[in-house]
Amino acid sequence: MKKILIVDDDPDLRQLLATYLGRHGYDALLLPDTRQIDAYLERYQPHLVILDLMMPGENGLAACRRLREKDASLPIIMLTARDEPTDRVVGLEMGADDYVGKPFDPRELVARVSAVLRRRTQPAAAPVAHGGVFCFGDWALNRSTRQLSRNGQEVPLTSGEFALLNVLVSNVNRPMKRERLFELTHGDDSESFDRAIDVQVHRLRRLIEVDSTQPRYLQTVRGVGYVFVHAGENGAGVQT
């Protein structure tokens, strides 16, 4: 059974979610706040964490950012009583994989959990067998090991960041529509969120660009979406 860690200060909601997740084959671990979250992560190694945004002590956004700095691959879903688009963007910028606003149908959350876990095994987010190394500037993206490095120093990528970067470098110098990027990185059955790709591009730019406001590689194509621009040999940066 895949283990899901639920961190929420509402005991009734924790138990409700545990019941629903249990019915769908998940083993739920419950915490009222983040004070023991590191110990739980080390001891139980959950497959996904559900974080409430508003909690006493360390809030969900701070916890998400801290956890993401420690483990770029840990799937995280944010819960909040607020469901404004700006709140969703902030949650995604902190590294969350998905975002659900309260009140919600528990079945929706279970579906989101399944989608996030399934997304990690989709081709775009998985290592690319015999994918080679894509080099650009001081950077090297090893598509076989899913590692990004700069001058030999590894830089952690979340599964979503790798999926998007992998798709873009696979279509180097070819403009890609946001809808197509979302489909390739999130799957056909994922709920559309038109800012999700924009947020992930913003996060990637902060990682790889010298000046994220004047991107050299991840460029915007007005009215279309994004393109990875690379002027390497034959327009490609893949070394085998």
Express each pLDDT in 4-31 by its tens digit: 999 999 999 999 999 999 999 999 999 9
Quote the pTM value: 0.59
Q: What is the pLDDT of residue 187?
A: 59
Instruction: Domain ranges for the chain, please list them.
Output: 2-119, 133-239
Q: What is the pLDDT of residue 10?
A: 93
133-239 fold: Arc Repressor Mutant, subunit A (1.10.10)
User: What would you measure as the largest C-alpha separation in the chain, in angstroms?
Assistant: 59
Q: What is the pLDDT of residue 236?
A: 43
Q: What is the pLDDT of residue 121?
A: 55
Q: What's the rounded Cα separation, in Å, for the pair 210 and 219?
A: 13
Query: At residue 139, what is the residue type?
Result: W
Q: What is the CATH code for 2-119? A: 3.40.50.2300
Helix pair angle (106-119, 178-186), 10° resolution: 90
Does the CA dihedral 31-37-41-46 come out positive or negative?
A: positive
Query: At residue 207, what is the residue type?
Result: L
Helix (H, G, I), strand (E, B) or coil at 181: helix
> pLDDT tens-digit profile of 31-53?
999 999 999 999 999 999 999 98
Q: What is the pLDDT of residue 237?
A: 47
Q: Are 230 and 218 in contact (CB under 8 A)?
A: no
From first to last of the 240 residues of the chain, give the pLDDT tens digit: 899 999 999 999 999 999 999 999 999 999 999 999 999 999 999 999 999 988 989 998 899 989 988 887 788 998 877 656 666 667 777 778 888 888 888 888 998 898 888 766 554 545 555 568 999 999 999 988 888 999 989 998 887 888 899 999 988 998 988 888 887 787 554 554 557 788 889 989 999 999 989 999 999 998 889 999 987 543 444 443
